[in-house]
Structure 1
Amino acid sequence: MIPSQSNSFSGSVITLYFFLLGSLVLRTLASSRLHYCRHDQRDALLEFKHEFPVSESKPSPSLSSWNKTSDCCFWEGVTCDDESGEVVSLDLSYVLLNNSLKPTSGLFKLQQLQNLTLSDCHLYGEVTSSLGNLSRLTHLDLSSNQLTGEVLASVSKLNQLRDLLLSENSFSGNIPTSFTNLTKLSSLDISSNQFTLENFSFILPNLTSLSSLNVASNHFKSTLPSDMSGLHNLKYFDVRENSFVGTFPTSLFTIPSLQIVYLEGNQFMGPIKFGNISSSSRLWDLNLADNKFDGPIPEYISEIHSLIVLDLSHNNLVGPIPTSISKLVNLQHLSLSNNTLEGEVPGCLWGLMTVTLSHNSFNSFGKSSSGALDGESMQELDLGSNSLGGPFPHWICKQRFLKYLDLSNNLFNGSIPPCLKNSTYWLKGLVLRNNSFSGFLPDVFVNASMLLSLDVSYNRLEGKLPKSLINCTGMELLNVGSNIIKDTFPSWLVSLPSLRVLILRSNAFYGSLYYDHISFGFQHLRLIDISQNGFSGTLSPLYFSNWREMVTSVLEENGSNIGTEDWYMGEKGPEFSHSNSMTMIYKGVETDFLRIPYFFRAIDFSGNRFFGNIPESVGLLKELRLLNLSGNSFTSNIPQSLANLTNLETLDLSRNQLSGHIPRDLGSLSFLSTMNFSHNLLEGPVPLGTQFQSQHCSTFMDNLRLYGLEKICGKAHAPSSTPLESEEFSEPEEQVINWIAAAIAYGPGVFCGLVIGHIFFTAHKHEWFMEKFHRNKRRVVTTSAR
């Protein structure tokens, strides 16, 4: 009996197994069969594909699978409903569509679409109102395109939307009242557009499902609602870079779910009051920068225990940093710069990762616990532009992971300690300018290969430049200006592959810039200021021939036609975002550049003892904006090659011993607005260009044989001289600069050949040479001989 029952039971189990297996296979086949794309959906997608200029021979990789021979539910970016076969999701992000959305587009035939993602597709033009017909949409992403027009009226019809992402376009228009229909909206990002709004209060309280709100960088001019406590799901709140007004939005901070708040770049005012904020708050990133908040930093900010990032910079805050800030045990990043804070800097801050306290009135350091000085945490410390004094803070030497240190514009004195070597391995920026540091610049840069910027200008440093700087292979800026350093020109810096800015001005440097055994110039240098030193000697005609960064424009360098007027040197992105700064003579005035424009190219050799000819090769530097050779002893003619400097804005050749004519072609330099030729031995007519005729009389003073100054100086002040015959005024041959360019291109062998050729012609073909070059013989011979 028992064996029989056992066999029966086993048979039943086997039967049940095959029954279930068969059912599963049939269900899978049925499901697969239902999954086939409907023909009308396929045709609508193909119609949509053909609306864009995609070559059939080279289709977009993401659309290559879109063809009639395959099931559209398996096309890339397409998702279908398992049962109906209708398209419910279309994600073509980063596919280069390069066109606009037409009102009759096949896209709008996909009536069951729930997800439409066309971000970063190079779409442009206005979005048609047909978008409002896709009534089942729950997710719409058109971000990062070039779309225009008033899109929100159409979007307001999509009352099933949970995510609306329209950022980084050029949409405009006011937010309509119908926008309040989007009650299911959870994520709203319309940042970086041109939307306007004058009353946020009638919209925001109705969007009670919001968890993320980003309206940054628009044209909103409104107050925030007085009561936002109803937004009980809100986690992210970003209204940066608008024109919001009113007092601190206290009710916002009563929302328990809130984690991130960005109010930066508006016109909020009054004291900072957090209201009934709970100690259980989840807020970890708070940015109130660049507003008009005033009064002290509230003591009860310490109640927000979850804070990791706090930015109160660029406001009107006063008083000391509250001692209660030590209770913010999770705080890592603190920025209080550009306020009117004063008193002691709490020692508890040295355990943070980034501390920015610049442009305040702090005058001392508080005591710190041993844990705050363990050297494991701090990466950025900016104490610039305060009233801090005394010797260099030695505790900084314990910060082994520092990336940026700024002690500039304070009252520090004494020597820069050798122990700073301990903090240079990761260092990218070291700014000690405008203090009273004295002694030698220590030899601490052996391991500083990541250092991008070193600025110790406006101190009392002496001695020589430390040779360990040769290890700073990433260095872009070196500024030791306005000290009392006595050294020869650091030609060994030519080996630094990234050096862009070299400033040695107002020191006691001496000697020649040029030695026969050293190659010409700096290939990557964009700006050099060695003015007000004791440099001397002549410059080779080819001295500037290898300064390639001043020959190539930024656009050519990057292979792009994107404008660079807003680019600044030293801005490297999230890891190092500190701009370089400098002081130099610009358009005759000592100018502080808080940021150095990326396109700026400048040479200032003024106030030295150079003599001989100005190198013809300077005419190769077509991107040069500023050239100052004043206060030297240069002789002979002004090089005609200067007329090649089509971007030149300021030219100062004053206080030399230059003779001959001012090259007529300089009058065609349309950007040349500031010039100075005074105190030379120049003669002949002043060029007739508008830039010359609009100069002040002092530009040409003390050149007794110049004429044509009646319009500039008035007849009573114009020097009297007899105009030379017109044939006396012959421009130097363009072949001079062409010869230099050829020499650069074909190398030393051709150069030697030209020298030998010169000797041959000088000895045997003197009459031909004179006929060919007329009155330029002296300059051509001099150029060749060197």
Structure 2
Amino acid sequence: MMTRSHCYCFYGIFTIYLSLLIHTLASATLNLCQQDQRDALLEFRDEFVIDEFDPSPWNKSSDCCLWKHVRCDDKNGQVISLDLHDIFLNSSLKINSSLFKLQYLRHLNLSSCNLQGKIPSSLGNLSHLTVVDLSFNELVGEISASIENLNHLRYFSVEYNHLTEMIPSSLGNLSCLTFLDLSSNELVGEIPTSIGYLKNLRELHLGGNHFIGEIPSSLGNLSRLLELELWHNHLVGEVPPSIGNLNELRVMQLYQNTLSGNIPILLANLTKLSDISLYYNSFSSTLPSNMSGFHNLEYFLVSENSLHGPFPKSLFSNPLLQLVDLEGNHFTGPIEFANTSSSSSELQYLGLSRNGFDGPIPESISQYFNLRELDLSYNNFTGSLPRSISKLASLTDLKLTNNKLKGEVPSFFWRFPTLILSHNLFSSFENSSQETLIQMLDLSSNSFQGPFPQWICKLKRLSLLDLSNNLFNGSIPPCLRNSIVSLTELNLSNNSFSGTVPQIFGNATKLESLDVSHNQLHGNFPKSLINCTSLQFVNMESNKIKDKFPSWLGSLPFLHVLILKSNEFYGSLYHRHMTMGFQSLRIIDVSHNDFTGTLPPHYFSTWREMSIFTEGAYMANLLRYYSSDLLNYRSMEMVNKGVDTSSNPTSQQRKESSESEEHMFSWVAAAIAYGPGVFCGMVIGHIFFTSRIREWFTEKFGPRKFRVTVGGR
């Protein structure tokens, strides 16, 4: 029998349950989106071919407030958010798009949707918008002035589009705006002064456009600004002093402009900065004498300016510092670091190249134990290498080229994956018994001597090896085949290596450049090079190689340059069975050898690359690998270097030539170069041109494009 107390308990529970049920039903009713809102969304969907998400939940029978990518107001069921980012719409927004029927929309994210066309002026009708993200699309045209109607707008991003024209000055009326990103477009004109009216702005991103003129001083009014990015424009003049009033600024990226002025004044009050990026400008002052107050500073990048003065020692007392780049300036004097345990322990990159620093590399550099890249190249550093560098356990990239460093290279250097020591006065190195991780080793232009270092044969990951311009002698060891598997560049030129070139190229399928010129090598040309299917450049100039012309090299698909000058090659250059070879060849020099015979006119007809490349790209690509000696072949610039006929046959000798010779070059030791789409001609030795051959070249390469230089290069 149920007691009265039990009845009261049951009644109470039932009352609570009924209340919750009524509340749930009421909430569900309120959350049902409005009919016009659902219809507008369905019509908007049908404007595009959308494959990136399942459209099945988007139908008339379901609550649009529960649809994916849609959010509604909890009180009245109006659509307030539409987020379709990363869904390819692959079309343009029409001016009468159903999107603009969503009058209560607050949040619109159509980033990375492959939207095309212009930003429709109808966007300005959605007056409740607070967030508009149209970034990473293919939008063109101007930023519609109707944006000024979005009085509640806080976030506006159109970065990475193709917008042109000028920024509408009415953008300055958006007083609620806290985030503005117009970067990486093609906007032009001056930055409007009205941007300085956006008193609530926290981030301003205008980089990667074509803005001109000076930075407006009104930007100094943006007292809440945290990030200022004006990089990669055409801004000129001094940075206005008002920028120094932005006391809350954390990021200042003004790089790649033509700005000038005084950096100490600019930075005096901006001590909260974490990122100072001023590189590629025309600043010409000194740095502040005391930079120890930038406690949040992580990136200090001022390379490629005209800054001068001593090494900024105080800069390195900031404990969060990670990247410092002072390259390409006019700093002078010795470098030294404060000996403090907290000093810049986070430092990962230090670039000091192309300045006038001198003196020894200080032992105190070892305190930056997180350092990964150190570039001290192109300075006047002297003395020996400090042993304390061995403490830099994280270092992977060390560049010391073009200094006056001397002595022995310590064995611990061999653990660095990238080691560039070229153009110094080093004379010896310690061998290492440990396995090394070296991938790029450049010891060129030093005073190293003796036989080829056998320990190099143990380097299994080597991609670049340059020992050129030293005093090495003896033979090239066969064990080098162990390292050559991963090599892309091998340069042993300008030494005193002797003996034959060993047959070590059987597995050198990655090799792109081989230079053993200016040595004392003899014997046959290495036939194992036929396996080097990536080979682009071969230089064996000034040796004693004695062999027939390696016509089989013509099968290498990427061979651009073949220099066999000043050897003892002999026989004919022409082989009748080699009809489709050297299709990528651009320069060939076989002068100063013992070649004989004749060349039929059709011999060069398959050398197709010589008629399709462009001059700029062509020389830039060659100089990526090759020495400046190739600049001697600049007849490819179509400069008429004159014709030296002193060695040519006389008119009487020409008359005596047989009819068959009118179809041939009679030649001895020809050096031939092709330029961009023309036969430029560098022919050294005795050349005989008949009228028939001249007509053939004119037909092949066009009138007034034919150039011949007879004699030296």
Q: TM-score, normalised by structure 1?
A: 0.70
1:395: Cα distance to partner? 1.2
Percent of aligned pairs sharing the same letter: 42
1:180 to 238, 244, 250: 244
Quick one: distance in 2 between partners of 1:607 and 1:274?
Answer: 66
Contact 1:279 1:305 in 2 (8 A): no
- Counterpart residue number, 2:596: 536
Structure 1 pair 387–30 and aligned structure 2 pair: CA distance change class (3 A)? same
Matches within 5 A, 1:52-67: 61-62=115-116, 66=120
Matches within 5 A, 1:24-43: 28-30=73-75, 33=78, 35=80
Quick one: distance in 1 between partners of 2:461 and 2:511?
Answer: 13
Unaligned runs of 5+ in 1: 47-58, 556-562, 572-578, 588-592, 656-673, 675-786
Matches within 5 A, 1:97-246: 97-103=163-169, 107-197=171-261, 199-246=262-309
Structure 1 pair 527–175 and aligned structure 2 pair: CA distance change class (3 A)? same
Alignment partner of 1:122: what SS? coil
1:636 to 677, 685, 690: 690
Contact 1:553 1:599 in 2 (8 A): no
1:449 to 496, 500, 509: 509
Quick one: distance in 2 between partners of 1:264 and 1:621?
Answer: 36
Residues 179-218 of structure 1, C-alpha deviation per residue, up to 9 Å, x if partnerless? 1122221111111110111x21112131122111110010
1:337: Cα distance to partner? 0.7
2:349 to 277, 285, 305: 285
RMSD: 3.9
Structure 1 pair 599–142 and aligned structure 2 pair: CA distance change class (3 A)? farther
- Counterpart residue number, 2:56: none
Quick one: distance in 2 between partners of 1:394 and 1:17?
Answer: 86
- Counterpart residue number, 1:89: 155
Unaligned runs of 5+ in 2: 32-71, 83-94, 101-112, 137-149, 650-656, 666-671
1:142: Cα distance to partner? 1.9
1:432: Cα distance to partner? 0.9
1:67: Cα distance to partner? 7.2
Structure 1 pair 164–613 and aligned structure 2 pair: CA distance change class (3 A)? farther
1:601: Cα distance to partner? 14
Alignment partner of 2:681: what SS? strand
Contact 2:591 2:684 in 1 (8 A): no
Contact 1:443 1:468 in 2 (8 A): yes
Contact 2:402 2:422 in 1 (8 A): yes
1:472: Cα distance to partner? 1.7
Matching residue's letter, 1:90: F
Quick one: distance in 2 between partners of 1:451 and 1:501?
Answer: 14
Residues 388-442 of structure 1, C-alpha deviation per residue, up to 9 Å, x if partnerless? 1111111111111111111110111111112212222221111111111111212
Structure 1 pair 598–472 and aligned structure 2 pair: CA distance change class (3 A)? farther
Quick one: distance in 1 between partners of 2:456 and 2:311?
Answer: 37
Tell me whether 1:317 sits opposite 2:372 in the alignment: no
Structure 1 pair 71–168 and aligned structure 2 pair: CA distance change class (3 A)? same
Quick one: distance in 2 between partners of 1:609 and 1:536?
Answer: 16
2:456 to 396, 413, 416: 396
Alignment partner of 1:325: what SS? helix
- Counterpart residue number, 1:306: 370
Q: How many residues are matched?
A: 605
Contact 2:537 2:559 in 1 (8 A): yes
Residues 58-112 of structure 1, C-alpha deviation per residue, up to 9 Å, x if partnerless? x972557857499685865289xxxx98332222222112333344xx6445443
Contact 1:586 1:626 in 2 (8 A): no
2:620 to 567, 580, 585: 567
Matching residue's letter, 1:586: N
Alignment partner of 2:354: what SS? coil
Structure 1 pair 196–357 and aligned structure 2 pair: CA distance change class (3 A)? same
Quick one: distance in 1 between partners of 2:270 and 2:165?
Answer: 33
Quick one: distance in 2 between partners of 1:270 and 1:633?
Answer: 58
Residues 35-61 of structure 1, C-alpha deviation per residue, up to 9 Å, x if partnerless? 379xxxx99x99xxxxxxxxxxxx972
Contact 1:619 1:642 in 2 (8 A): no
Quick one: distance in 1 between partners of 2:442 and 2:407?
Answer: 16
Structure 1 pair 6–237 and aligned structure 2 pair: CA distance change class (3 A)? farther
Matching residue's letter, 1:222: S
Quick one: distance in 2 between partners of 1:305 and 1:599?
Answer: 54
1:249 to 312, 316, 332: 312
Contact 1:211 1:236 in 2 (8 A): yes
Alignment partner of 1:329: what SS? coil
1:240: Cα distance to partner? 0.2
2:681 to 624, 627, 633: 627
Matching residue's letter, 2:446: N
Matching residue's letter, 1:309: E
Structure 1 pair 156–517 and aligned structure 2 pair: CA distance change class (3 A)? same
Structure 1 pair 613–362 and aligned structure 2 pair: CA distance change class (3 A)? farther
Contact 2:638 2:680 in 1 (8 A): no
Residues 321-344 of structure 1, C-alpha deviation per residue, up to 9 Å, x if partnerless? 011111111111111110000000
Residues 714-741 of structure 1, C-alpha deviation per residue, up to 9 Å, x if partnerless? xxxxxxxxxxxxxxxxxxxxxxxxxxxx
Alignment partner of 2:412: what SS? helix
Matches within 5 A, 1:549-698: 549-554=609-614, 567-569=620-622, 571=624, 579-581=625-627, 583=629, 586=632, 612=661, 623-624=677-678, 626-634=680-688, 636-637=690-691, 639-640=694-695, 644=701, 651-653=708-710
Contact 1:538 1:613 in 2 (8 A): no
Contact 1:338 1:359 in 2 (8 A): yes
Quick one: distance in 2 between partners of 1:649 and 1:176?
Answer: 56
Alignment partner of 1:652: what SS? coil
Residues 122-166 of structure 1, C-alpha deviation per residue, up to 9 Å, x if partnerless? 223333323323333222222222221112424333332211222
1:350: Cα distance to partner? 0.6
Quick one: distance in 2 between partners of 1:156 and 1:269?
Answer: 34
Alignment partner of 1:470: what SS? helix
Matching residue's letter, 1:190: L
1:648: Cα distance to partner? 6.1
Matches within 5 A, 1:305-454: 305-368=369-432, 370-371=433-434, 374-375=435-436, 377-454=437-514
Quick one: distance in 1 between partners of 2:647 and 2:570?
Answer: 9
Alignment partner of 1:220: what SS? coil
- Counterpart residue number, 1:500: 560
Matching residue's letter, 2:502: P
Matching residue's letter, 1:30: K
1:635: Cα distance to partner? 5.1
Contact 1:550 1:601 in 2 (8 A): no
Alignment partner of 1:135: what SS? coil
Quick one: distance in 1 between partners of 2:574 and 2:288?
Answer: 69
Contact 2:673 2:682 in 1 (8 A): no
Contact 1:554 1:599 in 2 (8 A): no
Contact 2:251 2:275 in 1 (8 A): yes
Contact 2:560 2:584 in 1 (8 A): yes
Contact 1:601 1:625 in 2 (8 A): no
Matching residue's letter, 1:542: H
Quick one: distance in 1 between partners of 2:491 and 2:229?
Answer: 41
